[in-house]
Amino acid sequence: MLGLAGLLGLVVLAQCSWLGLISYQGVAGEQWVQSSGEDSLCPQVSAITPSSHGSLLESLDSEFATEEFKLKAYESLGGAVRIPTETFDDLGTPEEDPRWEVHYDFHTYVETRFPRVHENLLRTKVNTYALVYYWKGSDETLKPVLIAAHADVVPVEPATADEWINPPYSGYYDGEWIWGRGSCDDKSGLIGSLTAIETLLERGFAPTRSVILAFGIDEERGGYTGALSIGRYLLETFGEDSISLIVDEGGGYSDISGTIFASPAVAEKGYLDVRVDVSTPGGHSSKPPKHTGIGILSNIITELEAHPHQPQLVRDRTYYQSLQCRAEYDNGLDPSMRKLIQQSRSSDEALQQLEGELLEFDPAYYAQAGTTQAIDLIGGGVKVNALPEAVWTIANHRIADYSSVSALQERFASIVNPIAAKYNMSLDAFGELVESGAPAYGQVRLSQAFGSSLEPAPVSPTIGSGPYELLSGTIISTLQTHLRSTEPQRPAVVSPGLSLDTRHYWKLTKHIFRYGHRGATDNYNGAHTTNEAIRAEGFLEVIRFYTRFILNADETNLLD
């Protein structure tokens, strides 16, 4: 990746305006030191490795490096990929829709592949197919850690089957890549965490701090059957604020100018689908009005796209804070841009200038720093010689972390209202009726589609917070000791980012991190598209990350 977009594969958000020097010494082997001096833009923690479990970790890394272990682990993921756990938007309940039943096959597979996990951990099936595993620790006064993943995948478009280098559900390992739908999103996370725990159990490890695994079944449609039910189950079982931290899928890491930037997401954008319905009189097409409902709707869509949301740089928010980390640690950043970022911390004029520069400098700026809008669905009309009486469209929005659902609704209505007035239409804007001056020709109605309203998430604490520091130190430790055969060791930086999809777990903890320890070059062609594949050595690093995370969490005093 090049330019600022390289850092912002997932938007970075860190409370990096903290200044000064602090060092911390916890249990043996655990230490972090923040960047020093008044000009520190993005404080960092140093690597954290376990002390009491140090010899075990060293032995495990030696095992992970063996060809025998690698081939077994790669086949574990390949076998999971071969089970087509596709999620569809129109799925019924697990009780009524037979398309869920493929998850029975997945249950059987993981039972067979990870026998020690199923002998030693308590497994609960939630809402039939979602899975929760509880690895009970010896000290129940310690809050558990939770690792989340999902077993479902987006369907493969049948028309693209011939475009795959290897079949989409082959799970084939070709010596470098493990191929197939779900290899990246997110069976690598699910199988990686199970492999880590299975291997720890083989060594006789028994945790002091409890570990929970939560595996959803319909993340690709919002988690309304899986994660929602898991969240309710965990709340009923453990209570609110009962988890020390959650690690779910999310940001990864990438090489920018020779430095590895890792981006665990600590915030989530909001979400809203707006439905626009235009109702007009019908009639025969031989006597058309000047504008049909389709024409009026088209005018509304044109006006919406002519007025996109403008991203803003807000100093204490997501995207802006990512720039601070970039200015401090990216050796390849243009000096003038670095200077402008630094000046913008205290100068409103420089902040405004920086906004203008980013519009040209960073192609990802619009999508990541502000609210996005996409007209994705449209419909209407029943016959070529009948005037359409009801037409509609749906606009998808991802709401900036500094905005809100109500602000989006108000802005949307303000754009549509003049169009409705132009055509003498009344406007029902999210339940508030705005009448036209004369008897209305028809009505424009704005509403939430699919009950999709979601405010931006609470922001997980970063620097100064033990859970974030533990996670950061574990990420750095894993990156600095990687087992890749051809890559040199590089300096690593953690700069928190922004993601989606943990809404169902918000009440369990204030410390939610969306991070899937996978490098940008470990994806062959990304997810949700043809030729999804994960680099095998990258998957091995996923296993190593979960292993280090569990061992670090077990002996840390950075968690409750």
String of DSSP letters for 276-322? EEEE----BTTS--SS-HHHHHHHHHHHHHHSPPPP---TTSHHHHH
336 vs 316, residue with greater confidence: 336
443 vs 267, residue with greater confidence: 443
* CA separation for the pair 112, 95 (Å, rounded): 25
Indicate which residue of 198, 218, 219, 249 is catalytic. 219
The per-residue pLDDT for 527 is: 87
> Phi first, then psi: what are they for 307, rounded to 5°?
-130, 65
**Does the annotation place 334 within a ligand binding site?**
no
Number of CB atoms found within 10 A of residue 356's CB = 9
Q: What is the pLDDT of residues 521-531, one digit of tens each?
A: 999 998 889 99
39 an active-site residue? no
Q: Which of 492, 6, 496 is nearest to 263 (CA)?
A: 496
| Identity of the residue numbered 276 | V
**Pure H helices in 423-465:** none
204 contact partners, CB below 8 Å, separation of at least 6: none
- CATH code 3.40.630.10 region(s) in the chain: 4-268+457-555
Share of the chain above pLDDT 90, in %: 79
Number of CB atoms found within 10 A of residue 104's CB = 12
> Phi first, then psi: what are they for 272, rounded to 5°?
-160, 130
Q: Kindly write down the DSSP assignment for every residue of 353-391, as one continuous string.
A: HHHHHHHHH-TTHHHHHS-EEEEEEEEE-S-TTB--SEE
Q: Does residue 186 have a cis peptide bond before it, meaning omega lies within 30 degrees of 0?
A: yes
Share of the chain above pLDDT 70, in %: 92
At 489, the pLDDT band (50, 70, 90 cuts) reads confident
Q: What is the pLDDT of residues 279-301, one digit of tens each?
A: 999 999 999 999 999 999 999 99
**Does the annotation place 150 within a ligand binding site?**
yes
Mean pLDDT calculated for residue range 482-497: 90
* CA separation for the pair 82, 168 (Å, rounded): 8
Q: Which fold has domain 270-309+371-456?
A: Alpha-Beta Plaits (3.30.70)
Mean pLDDT calculated for residue range 503-519: 94
- CATH code 3.30.70.360 region(s) in the chain: 270-309+371-456
37 vs 316, residue with greater confidence: 316
State in words which class domain 4-268+457-555 has. alpha beta
At 488, the pLDDT band (50, 70, 90 cuts) reads confident
Are 248 and 501 within 8 A, CB to CB? yes
At 501, the pLDDT band (50, 70, 90 cuts) reads low
Is the pLDDT at 225 greater than 60? The verdict is yes
Mean pLDDT calculated for residue range 219-237: 95
The per-residue pLDDT for 367 is: 84
**Does the annotation place 107 within a ligand binding site?**
no
- Output the pTM of the full model: 0.87
At 14, the pLDDT band (50, 70, 90 cuts) reads very low
Q: What is the pLDDT of residues 25-67, one digit of tens each?
A: 233 344 333 343 345 678 899 999 999 999 999 999 999 999 9
The per-residue pLDDT for 7 is: 37
The per-residue pLDDT for 519 is: 96
89 an active-site residue? no
The 3-state secondary structure of 386-424, one letter per residue: ECCCEEEEEEEEEECCCCCHHHHHHHHHHHHHHHHHHCC
Q: Is 380 helix (H, G, I), strand (E, B) or coil?
A: strand
At 361, the pLDDT band (50, 70, 90 cuts) reads confident
CA atoms within 13 A on the CB side of 239: 3
487 vs 62, residue with greater confidence: 62
Q: What is the pLDDT of residues 394-450, one digit of tens each?
A: 999 999 999 999 999 999 999 999 999 999 999 999 999 987 666 789 999 999 998
The per-residue pLDDT for 2 is: 32
The per-residue pLDDT for 437 is: 67
Are 209 and 145 within 8 A, CB to CB? yes
Q: Which of 51, 193, 65 is nearest to 132 (CA)?
A: 193
* CA separation for the pair 80, 505 (Å, rounded): 25
pLDDT, mean over the chain: 90
Lookup: tokens for 106: 């997945």
**Does the annotation place 248 within a ligand binding site?**
yes
> How many separate helices (H) and strands (E) can be counted in the chain?
15, 20
Q: Which of 426, 451, 448 is nearest to 437 (CA)?
A: 426
* CA separation for the pair 168, 172 (Å, rounded): 9
At 24, the pLDDT band (50, 70, 90 cuts) reads very low
Are 266 and 12 within 8 A, CB to CB? no
Lookup: tokens for 85: 């756990």
Mean pLDDT calculated for residue range 87-109: 96
Indicate which residue of 30, 152, 218, 330 is catalytic. 152
The per-residue pLDDT for 129 is: 98
**Does the annotation place 307 within a ligand binding site?**
no
H or E segment at 116? helix 115-120
Residue 446 buriedness (CB in 10 A; 0-12 / 13-18 / 19+) = buried
Is the pLDDT at 228 greater than 50? The verdict is yes
* CA separation for the pair 75, 77 (Å, rounded): 5
